[in-house]
Structure 1
Amino acid sequence: MASIAKRPNGKWRARYRDVAGREHARHFGRRVDAQRWIDEESASIVTGQYVDPKSRKVTVDEWCDVWIQGYGSRRASSVRQANVHLARIRQEFGPLPLVAVQPSMVRNWLARLGSEGLSASYLFALHSRLSQVMRDAVLDRKVSANPCSRRTSPGAGKQRAYVATEAQLWALYELAAAKYQPALLLGAFVGLRVGEACGLRPADVDLAARTITPAVQYPALPLKTAMSGETVPIPDSLVSVLKPLCVGRAHLLVDEEGEQVGPWQIEREMRRIRGKVATLPEGFRFHDLRHFYASLLIASGADVKVVQHRLRHGSAKTTLDTYGHLWPDSDESTRTAVERVMNGKIISLADSVRTEGASE
């Protein structure tokens, strides 16, 4: 319900009630301005884009405070990463009302950060985080629309995973301290992430069935996703290496004092040895051993679903986006498949046409 009435002082008072039944009023010098305001507010209510006047004053800083509280139930590492992203977002948009953030401002912000040398993947992560924050603001009716979209996205970048050669892998293995050598095998031949390798317990290894089923990541936190708990088969050679590590200890990877090895210890060892291996990239990490594992599976003829499950990706899309370039060219296999069906048929058909022509 809305109305416009002239006040004794000559002003026009416009009033309406929102979807919650609360009354809102404003005064205007001209009736036409009062009517325009009423029309705009009524239209936003009808279309579902209405934002309460008080909510329109909420700043990005204030909303980020509210948003991170709701996000706090996630893993500690996820919350830390979110706070790093929010710090960048607050720095740029903090004092502004949420409703003042426009798509052009988002594009300009990302372009400026890109010119400062930030990577495409990090810019994509910042854009995704801002979009996540603004999307929740839309759901809470703090803004009517999300300023982030495909048009403002910088793209995720096209960086390809580096796949070490067998010679490079075994060189790393020989250079690593004995206590870290099993970790390299778990990364390169089981595809475990560094946190999963550090969290691996004897109970997670079925020596008889020759399988590993990750259950926790370091120190005893839930896995990254439900898919991360998929069982992975392992060969006899790896079983023989892991068998003595499954006796008399709480975790497979321990230091000299029998304490659980942490991810930072393994990454520190990777930094120590990677520079001693010829042609290995300077930034080679433990996680890159997963790429070696993926390349082995693909080279053996494994299809995308098998590779997805062995790497325990949440979706086949993730597998294809990361390793699609490793699958062999399918042109020749396409020719072979079509030739198998066509072989002999086209020749016999041509012969029959020539025969019919000759008889005429």
Structure 2
Amino acid sequence: MGYVADRWHKSRPKPGEPECGEHKGKVASRAHGKGKRWQARYDGPDGGERTSLHRTAAEAEREIIKQESAKMTGSWVDPKAGKVTVETYAFDTWLPAQNINGRTEIEYRGVLNRYLVPEWGTREIRSIKPSEAGAWQQLLLAKYELSGSTPNSVARRVRSVFRLAVIDRVIAVSPFAGIKAPTLVESTVDPPDLAEVLGLVDAAYHVRWRAMIDLTAMTGLRSGEIRGLRVDRIDRERGVLRVEEQLVYERGRGLYFDDLKTGAGRRVLPLTDEALTLLAEYVTAHPPAVDGEWAGLVFTMPGGEPIGESTLDWALKSICRRAGGPARHWHELRHHYASVLIAGGENPKVVQKRLGHKDVLTTLRVYSHLWAEAEERTRGVLDDARRKAREAAAVRREGFLSGGMIPEGQGTRVASGLVSA
């Protein structure tokens, strides 16, 4: 339990010290007459002492009762913690808590520096109001002119800063509580069909691009994953491919192997016989380096250097022009892979695992229309089958009633004047 201290007077005066002329029986301290007189002292849940100043002893008592009650109910918030600035909390507390790799950390820092710090960086985190939080989200569209899925992505990062502040008991409630996040606008993916993919394979002007396009269409690998594919990740006996790393670029560092963003990205993909044959033939014809920085890298440029993302994108656009089809991004080959799985009847959870999405909601959000199309095809198949069955039954019934012969093996019988199959 806390207690109230009188700042203006000594609690243990030395013998013979003169009394305070203003307060009878009290010995003045150095703080006498400076600031608020009464100090509330109490221990926080972590055992550390907390203090606050008040005009009257009654106010200090009420503060202690309030804080002790909050500790009992689990709603306690450190009154001084909320004084930290938004920028300090975001960079010193929130960012290290994200457990992300270097490249993603740079991305997150960029979001904070571009959209959060200019607006609220020097403000105390406890000072941000819900009305300001809603207005800030509107700035993403009006001031920063963000579009598509970007406003939602940026807002999720910033909302997460304040959500962690609540968990850390820095603030009692997030200013974004009750404020709807920007609508997530997902553009509908229109993946190339198999005929278009095979056309791209045929139009590829180098065996390297031909193999990479074909393999991506059969595995759904991301650009960084296929560019960073190493031969020891291919298990020919089990017929699987272990996706464990990617090739990334960072300014000042260049290209290097890096872990995948999420644990879900680490996955084991089943390989078809065609994919295994493709890899075996390519590796035999173009053996990877056995030592050095890029040892084991399957797909490389002449001289054994890794392939940059822009180089791969340029190659695909050139191939699209040669094929006479629409310009495609490498990620659309990944969408093709997903569309094949969905058309084949794979459930969302399986598709999520194959693509390495962090949750099934992401998979459903991106490909929901493809499942809808698959459902319509299923209805069409069922309707067509039942229509044909009814037509066949009608023909048999008509033949029976007209005195014709019922073909053997149809399993028909007469019951209550009806022919049934």
Q: Determine which of 54, 61, 64 is the counterpart of 2:80.
A: 54
Q: 1:168-226: per-residue Cα shift (whole Å, max 9, x none)?
A: 43444345441322222222221001111011122222345443222321143223333
Residue 67 and residue 22 in structure 1: after superposition, are their counterparts in 2 closer, same or farther (change >3 A)?
Answer: closer
**Other structure's SS at 1:195 match:** helix
TM-superposed deviation, 1:277: 6.4
Q: 1:315 aligns with which of 326, 342, 359?
A: 359
Give, in angstroms, the shift of residue 271 of structure 1. Answer: 4.6
The partner residue of 1:260 within 300, 306, 320 is 306
Q: 2:395 aligns to what?
A: none
Corresponding residue to 1:74 among 100, 106, 112:
100
Could you say which structure has the larger radius of gyration?
A: 2
1:53 and 1:215 map into 2 onto residues whose CA distance is 45
Following superposition of structure 1 onto structure 2, how do residues 1-360 of structure 1 map, counting pairs within 5 Å?
1-3=2-4, 8=23, 13=38, 15-19=40-44, 20=47, 22-28=49-55, 40-67=66-93, 70-71=96-97, 73-87=99-113, 88-116=115-143, 117-149=145-177, 151-178=179-206, 179-218=208-247, 219-247=256-284, 248-249=287-288, 250-274=296-320, 280=326, 284-327=328-371, 328-329=374-375, 332=379
- In structure 1, the gaps of 5 or more residues are 344-350, 353-360
**Alpha-carbon distance change, 285 to 150 in structure 1, aligned in 2, over 3 angstroms:** farther
Instruction: Check the 8 A contact 2:104/2:261 in 1, yes or no.
Output: no
Structure ranking higher on relative contact order (CA contacts 8 Å, 6+ apart): 1
State the SS of the aligned residue for 2:109: helix
Shift of 1:120: 4.2
1:26-70: CA deviations, max 9, x gaps?
Answer: 232x67766665565455444434333432321011112312662
Change (3 A) 1:34 1:275: farther
TM-score, L = length of structure 1: 0.79
Q: Which amino acid aligns with 2:339?
A: S
Give the whole-Å Cα distance in 1 for the aligned partners of 2:330 and 2:355.
14
Instruction: Report how many residues are paired.
Output: 338
Look up the equivalent residue of 1:143 and give its one-letter code. Answer: I
CA distance in 1, matches of 2:170, 2:121: 15
Q: Aligned partner of 2:169: which letter? A: R
Which structure carries more strand by proportion? 2
Q: Measured at CA, do residues 72 and 107 of structure 1 come closer, stay the same or move farther in structure 2, by a change above 3 Å?
A: closer
Contact 1:212–1:232, Cα closer than 8 Å, also in 2:
yes
Measure how far apart 1:97 and its partner are. 0.3
Contact 2:82/2:125 (8 A) holds in 1: yes
Asked whether the 8 Å contact 1:191–1:290 carries over to 2, the reply is: yes
Matches of 1:334 and 1:241, distance apart in 2: 34
In the TM superposition, what is the alpha-carbon distance from 1:243 to its structure 2 partner? 1.5
Quick one: structure 1 residues 34 and 295, their matched pair in 2 at CA, closer, same or farther if it must change by over 3 Å? Answer: same
* Structure 1 letter corresponding to 2:216: G
TM-score normalised by the chain length of structure 2: 0.69
Cα-to-partner distance string for 1:298-329 (whole Å, 9 max, x where unaligned):
22233333323332334333322221211223
* Aligned-pair Cα RMSD in Å: 3.5
- What is the Cα deviation at residue 71 of structure 1? 4.3
2: CA distance between counterparts of 1:93 and 1:272? 45
In 1, Cα distance between equivalents of 2:199 and 2:358? 32
Which ranges of structure 2 fall in alignment gaps of 5 or more residues?
9-22, 24-32, 248-255, 289-295, 391-414, 417-421
Q: 2:220, 2:333 within 8 Å by CA — same for their partners in 1?
A: yes
Q: Deviations over 1:127-158 (max 9, x none)?
A: 21112222222233222222234633113224
Residues 56 and 150 of structure 1: is their aligned pair in 2 closer, same or farther, counting only changes over 3 Å? Answer: closer
The answer to whether the Cα contact below 8 Å between 1:127 and 1:148 also exists between their aligned partners in 2 is: no
Return the structure number with greater helix share. Answer: 1
Looking at structure 2, the residues matched to 16 and 316 of structure 1 have their Cα atoms a distance apart, in angstroms, of: 50
Matching residue's letter, 2:117 = R
Q: Specify the SS of the correspondent of 1:212.
A: strand
Helix, strand or coil at the partner of 1:26 = strand
